[in-house]
Structure 1
């Protein structure tokens, strides 16, 4: 019944009526803002009368959207595209799909949403009074990333137009679905408003567990494994760390908590150590596509035992675009540790930071360690001039500890195959605040997987 070929009927005078109904709008779940409850006012325009076999055009004009554009982001011109559904009743049943162009004036923050008109065509196949009732609709915003906000009625909606269909000897009921995209769907660039995960290809690499390297706890007691020598015992240069569980607490717009596993490996180079930090696979779920290079992780490695201070390790940006619905692995983070004291020095995961860059907008989300994690690696260090001891403390941020230089590094595998994922890193929320917030206020963070 909802199909359409043939010429659009224009002979009969058109009718238009305003219909208001309570509406709930659910934006992308990548932000911490709540859903919005509001009122939608729609004007439907359709011919007052037509014959069986005619194809008519229905126009949906959004007189008033359920919410204003919140005080988050100005929407650029021609970045908003609506799709919707009109329910058919009486002489026909089913859904008429409606679609509007990506066409709008610039919409400042904290101002009414202005949506272009949606249209759909319908072939009439049965005589009688055909009622048209506005139903749910979807709003897609294309910049800075494509996101969707889905709106649905929260009460019974009254018909907005009625077409009197007279017998013209047309076909029986039925017909193909025509019109625009489903009201719940976005255009080709739109990410699912439900917030499907965005991820990239697995970076691969060796198991972060490696050989046990004496992961000592922060109190200095041995957590198992051998202590890595400084070169005096056997001349070893590679010192694999022990995988340790770490709980993080993130600041807004990040999630309240993240649970993950981290491994710190070291490679001796003269008197210093090149550090490589790995996280478990499937770090997070992202609800939107991200361009290459948009996400960069960093972590503070806390130095304890004989030595004191911290070293900052950083990872490169994602090498390829992250695709909606795929798991994301954080790239390996690298840096250089120059010891400032001689003895047994421990390396323990500290604050994790996710930086997201979208155009000229940048988001920095720190996630601090909760509780007292165990050390991932213990090294038998020899003091170097300008080394870490006495420099930057574990509680401070910044680059490296005094003398410990921070350096970027290559992308490699995340940790062990079967380890739990770091969940919903703050980048997701930060991204959404930029892009999804532009349409409506948003739903809370989605809880992530605890393991694989």
Structure 2
């Protein structure tokens, strides 16, 4: 192997620039919802043709063509893309040379070629002989709107991109060690990637996505209660299983338990909706206040319509790949009909906000759902009855930020699919959306009910 960093950097004479291409698979950030990308990477390596034992040489990796374009989701801003990569060292010495490029790029429009800065690394030559340099895997980090990584690796044997003939300058030692730092203005070769995070990497500890525990509780053995005489005010619902299918860039499927509890106040009911703990894994590292859940509760039986319930945003940062507990969601149900009315889980929405960037990921119910709660209701003026397409209950008595709304489930979810997809990639940071990283893998299947 080569040991980098020590000694004087040699600007070899003459320098050589050789090109090589290889089939590559790129894995987009888990949050992007995009499948793996198959393409061809074209790399030009520049290194001295000849050098002596003890010299420290600079190797430059120029990406002539990346394996994928920036997808047709959003434009990448200037100086938001940073590449890192690895070169395999073979021949007279073996090892790896880590390469790093600056976060430096022109604006990159969507559906256009990726433009990556040149990566550099320094190599100390410690053994005479012919050394080969072969480009290997590389990562692309996008810093906005979220920090996301696309990881690319060869899918075939790669030919060497450059060769250095090392002559014995006396006093050479057996090659060993690892690649190391740079000199002058070049970036550290073998140091940590500034500002980037490994897509899919592990992080310690999990945090909840809200200030309250989202563990659902069994609501006894029954789902019904009298909302009229007797003075009863608390009506616990039963825990029911629900499967959700989410729109990209959300997860393909969420399986969880949902419980709908009600508390009578006058003629209306204050609803509290809980999901199971660890309902999904965070697709990216998100700051506090970035993720907020909401759900449309479907009103059936004697009454018709829907009630929107919302939960507070996460109070603590979320770590990529760690389980997320959705906060309890609240809202107010105002009956529009008298009789036995049921409340069932409907469309779940996950809202992610990073600065001025917002994304809404709707997750619709798959299959049939058993009602969580049945109430003996009395019609109230302006209630939910008959609101299959408009006007469920009003907002009186609702918790801050939550309102009731009518409309069938088809009317819920993202209002702007284009914005949704763009932000989705934009997970650049949390949006989890992939900072618009140019390639992405589907969001990992979210964790089901405990």
TM-score by length of 1: 0.84
Distance 1:182 1:444 in 2: 31
Q: Give the whole-Å Cα distance in 1 for the aligned partners of 2:207 and 2:143.
A: 21
Equivalent in the alignment of 1:6 = 7
Q: Report 1:198-209 matches (<5 A).
A: 200-201=207-208, 203=211, 205=213, 208-209=216-217
From 432, 447, 450, the counterpart of 2:448 = 450
* TM-aligned CA distance change 1:67 to 1:406, over 3 Å: farther
The yes-or-no answer on 1:166 pairing with 2:170 is no
Instruction: For residue 431 of structure 1, report the CA deviation from its aligned partner.
Output: 5.0
Which stretch of the first structure deviates more once superposed, 306-315 or 126-135? 306-315
Displacement after TM superposition at 1:140 (Å): 0.6
Q: SS state of the match for residue 425, structure 2?
A: helix
Partner of 2:53: 52
Give the drift of 1:213.
6.7
Measured against aligned partners, the alpha-carbon deviations of 1:371-396 in whole angstroms (never above 9, x if no partner) come to 33111112232332322223x22xx4
Matched, 1:385 2:381: yes
How is 1:327-346 mapped onto 2 (pairs within 5 angstroms)? Answer: 327-346=323-342
SS at match of 2:281: coil
Which residue in the other structure is 2:227 paired with? Answer: 230
Residues 72 and 438 of structure 1 are in contact (CA less than 8 Å); yes or no, is this contact kept in structure 2?
yes
Give the alignment of 1:28-427 within 5 angstroms.
28-167=29-168, 168-179=170-181, 187-194=193-200, 200-201=207-208, 203=211, 205=213, 208-212=216-220, 214-215=222-223, 227-230=224-227, 232-233=229-230, 235-390=231-386, 392-393=387-388, 396=389, 401-403=392-394, 407-409=398-400
The total of aligned residue pairs comes to 420
More displaced, 196-205 or 135-144? 196-205
Task: Indicate the residue corresponding to 1:416 in structure 2.
Answer: none
Quote the offset at 1:87 in angstroms.
0.8
2:53–2:166 contact (8 Å) kept in structure 1: yes
Displacement after TM superposition at 1:365 (Å): 2.6
> Could you list the runs of 5+ residues in structure 2 that have no partner in the other structure?
182-186, 403-416, 429-433
Q: d(CA) in 2 for partners of 1:2 and 1:432?
A: 41
CA distance in 2, matches of 1:265, 1:409: 18
User: Which deviates the most, 436-445 or 129-138?
Assistant: 436-445
Contact 2:292 2:352 in 1 (8 A): yes
Deviations 1:1-28, CA, capped at 9 Å, x for gaps: 3322111122533222122222222211
Cα displacement (A) at 1:132: 1.0
Kindly state the Cα deviation for residue 34 of structure 1 after the two structures are TM-superposed.
Answer: 2.6
Tell me: CA distance 1:429–1:110, structure 2 relative to 1, closer, same or farther (3 Å).
Answer: closer
Query: SS at the partner of 2:10?
Result: coil
Question: Secondary structure in 1 aligned to 2:26?
Answer: strand
- Please, which runs of 5 or more residues in structure 1 have no aligned partner? 216-226, 412-425
Shift of 1:137: 0.9
Classify 1:86/1:428 alpha carbon distance in 2 versus 1 (closer, same or farther; 3 Å): farther
Q: What do residues 242-269 of structure 1 show as CA deviations (whole Å, max 9, x unaligned)?
A: 1111122333444443322110111121
Q: Could you tell me which residue of structure 2 aligns to residue 224 of structure 1?
A: none
CA contact (8 A) 2:333 2:393 kept: no
Per-residue CA shift, 1:138-182, capped at 9, x if unaligned?
111111111111111222222122111111212222123424789
SS at match of 1:3: coil
Pair 1:88–1:265, CA change in 2 (3 A) = same
- CA drift of 1:32 comes to 3.1
**Worse overlay, 442-451 or 311-320:** 442-451
Contact 2:277/2:449 (<8 A) preserved: no
Separation in 1, partners of 2:158, 2:213: 56
